[in-house]
Amino acid sequence: MRAHLPSVSTSILFNEPQYFSEFQSLSPTADLPCPQYPHQALIPFNEPSFPFAEFLISFLSTPSLRLSFPHLVPTLRAFGSYRGRTSLQEDGPGDASLIIRNVTLQDYGRYECEVTNELEDDAGMVSLDLEGVIFPYHPRLGRYTLTYPEAQRACAEQDGILASYEQLHAAWREGLDWCNAGWLQDGSVQYPVGQPREECGRREAPVGVRNYGYRHKEDERYDAFCFTSNLQGQVFFLKPYRKVSFPEAVRACAGSGAAVAKVGQLYAAWKLQLLDRCEAGWLGDGSVRYPIVNPRARCGGQRPGVRNLGFPDKKHRLFGVYCYRAPEKGVL
């Protein structure tokens, strides 16, 4: 028999926003509770029928993680990126939690908690949510050039993952207005509209997240809505004695012990660490952008955001550069 436990949502905030661009070297830990029915909690620990808890990754076709807690002796089988980062913790009679250390973007999603004994199986869903930022993305080739697999790779290359509908909807409620449709994690194509206008699905259409539905992942092409969260290391603006071309920008960052920052890294610095710089700079994908927290004259508009100047000629156009310096190994 299968019953359903209450759903639990656990939000992980990587760092509290502060007024500097360096990301603190924290390794966040998620504690995902797996509550059991009250009558099961009354079963003595020393009884052979004491239930044990199992966590399964419900959104993967092949489970990557299985933990059991029979008779207070925890056992663990973890695969892939979960190996060495997970454990099962007893929180009291009839209650256990899955512990995930060094939480990454790929850990985001829903987990199924299955509690079993000799008589019945109980199951509930636990959601792991990450505090972060949505950013629309298209490559140098232009808009509407990405299939679903290409959108996944594009987000990963910019230090992100494809966003979920819940993340896009939350961003729309916070003011995201973007008139280009993009892939989401579930294979749907949507876009958020805060100010209706003719070029964005008719002026009379209501505000909200417009939905194209689920599209053919291999044949149809759109932009991508990516999601990123906090990162370790430091994002900083570098302008040598003069503005530089893209190849010179790569060498300038390398000379400072860094690499040209990715788009997701700049968005994380802007949103979560309040990086504010009214100077355009190269990013790793060849685009030129700059982050504005406090809008002001001659800084590109009246709203906060990451300004995008597109993909200029790499050899002949000159700008500053945003660099990313990773933390030293062993320093957390």
Is 303 found in the same domain as 206? no
Residue 331 covered by a domain = no
Whole-angstrom distance, CA of residue 269 vs CA of residue 292: 11
Whole-angstrom distance, CA of residue 5 vs CA of residue 11: 19
Q: Which residues contact 197 (CB under 8 A, 6 or more apart)?
A: 179, 203
Query: Can you give the pLDDT at residue 63?
Result: 45
Is 143 found in the same domain as 110? no
Count of structural domains, the chain: 3
Is 310 found in the same domain as 199? no
Instruction: Supply the DSSP string of 177-202, one letter for each residue.
Output: ---S-EE-TTSEEEEEESS--GGGT-
Residue 107, pLDDT > 70, answer yes
Per-residue confidence band for 191, with pLDDT thresholds at 50, 70 and 90: very high
Q: Which long-range contacts (CB under 8 A, 24 or more apart) does 64-73 make?
A: 67/98, 69/96, 71/45, 71/46, 72/45
> Which of these ranges, 98-112, 158-172, 301-315, has the smallest mean pLDDT?
98-112
Contact 75, 68 (CB under 8 A): yes
Question: 52 is in which domain, residue-wise?
Answer: 2-130
Query: Can you give the pLDDT at residue 60?
Result: 33
Per-residue confidence band for 85, with pLDDT thresholds at 50, 70 and 90: confident
Is 245 found in the same domain as 312? yes
Residue 238, pLDDT > 80, answer yes
Closest CA to 276 of 98, 25, 16, 21: 21
Q: What is the CATH number of the domain that holds 244?
A: 3.10.100.10
Residue 26, pLDDT > 50, answer no
Closest CA to 9 of 111, 115, 86: 111
For the chain, the average pLDDT equals 77
Q: Cα angle vertex 121, ends 116, 126, to 5°?
A: 85
Number of CB atoms found within 10 A of residue 303's CB: 9
Residue 332 covered by a domain = no
pLDDT tens by residue, 161-171: 999 999 999 99
Query: Can you give the pLDDT at residue 61?
Result: 28
pLDDT tens by residue, 257-310: 999 999 999 999 999 889 999 999 999 999 999 999 999 989 988 899 999 999
